[in-house]
């Protein structure tokens, strides 16, 4: 029997929405947020950059160069202090891998009187000598380092001609070599040895 005036049969009961099908809870398939993706990508970029630098940086080159630049700075500091105080400067080298650059009143400095705390050790893995370098940066044969160099109050230094040469090399990689030269006028320059083609080039400071 149809409802009066509608021409339709009896209504079927409406099924409850979602009955029989479990509703997925929010967060089950949430995925990554934009911030999380940025953090992950940044971490990967840092890791890749560090790996690239480790693979492409010449091992041992930077420590040798930095050791030479530090020595050059100590020589210049002592010389400038001698000029400022109208005294003298003394640069000593110990074959065991130490050096001392001191300034004081004229006539007061002597190698034997250098206090232990005045000596500076070369960095680990760095030693005196030219390693695989065939000659010094000024063309002279590489020999023993000068035991001492004195600079006067006017800034002139008693160096061998054409200059005092301090060579340093990597104990692990003898081809990694750097040098410091100090001429009679007190000019100090640092150098890097280029195994190929076997030449020296000045280092910017």
Q: Is the pLDDT of residue 7 over 70?
A: no
DSSP state of 57: S
Residue 84 is predicted with a pLDDT of: 96
Report yes or no: 205 and 180 within 8 Å, Cβ to Cβ: no
Six-digit token string for 85: 């105080």
**In whole angstroms, what is the distance from residue 67 CA to residue 122 CA?**
7
Six-digit token string for 183: 């001429």
To which residue do tokens 């006067």 refer? 152
CATH 3.55.40.10 fits 61-202, yes or no: yes
Taking only the tens place, the pLDDT of each residue in 136-185 is 999 988 887 888 899 999 999 999 989 999 999 999 999 999 999 999 99
Q: What does the radius of gyration of the chain's CA atoms come to, in whole angstroms?
A: 37
Six-digit token string for 51: 């790996």
- Where helices occur in the chain by DSSP H, the ranges are 34-56, 61-85
Report yes or no: 142 and 135 within 8 Å, Cβ to Cβ: yes
Taking only the tens place, the pLDDT of each residue in 58-105 is 444 569 999 999 999 999 999 999 999 999 999 999 999 999 999 999
| SS3 state of residue 76 | helix
| SS3 state of residue 111 | helix
Q: How many angstroms from the chain centroid is the CA of residue 186?
A: 27
């Amino acid at each position: 029997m149809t409802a009066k005036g509608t021409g339709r049969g009896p209504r079927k009961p409406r099924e409850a929405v979602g009955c029989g099908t479990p509703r997925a809870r929010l967060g089950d398939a949430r995925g990554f947020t934009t911030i999380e993706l940025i953090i992950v990508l940044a971490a990967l970029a840092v890791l890749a950059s560090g790996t690239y630098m480790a693979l492409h940086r010449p091992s041992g080159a930077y420590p040798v160069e930095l050791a030479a630049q530090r020595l050059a700075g100590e020589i210049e500091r002592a010389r400038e202090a001698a000029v400022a105080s109208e005294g003298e400067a003394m640069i000593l080298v110990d074959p065991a891998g130490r050096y001392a650059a001191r300034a004081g009143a004229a006539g007061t400095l002597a190698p034997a009187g250098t206090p232990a705390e005045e000596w500076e050790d070369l960095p680990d893995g760095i030693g005196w000598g030219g390693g695989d370098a065939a000659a010094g940066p000024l063309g002279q044969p590489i020999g023993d380092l000068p035991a001492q160099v004195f600079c006067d109050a006017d800034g002139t230094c008693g160096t061998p001609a054409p200059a005092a040469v301090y060579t340093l090399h990597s104990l692990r990689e003898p081809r990694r070599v750097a040098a410091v030269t100090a001429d009679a006028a007190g000019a100090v320059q640092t150098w890097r040895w280029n195994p190929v083609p076997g030449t020296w080039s000045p280092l910017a400071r």
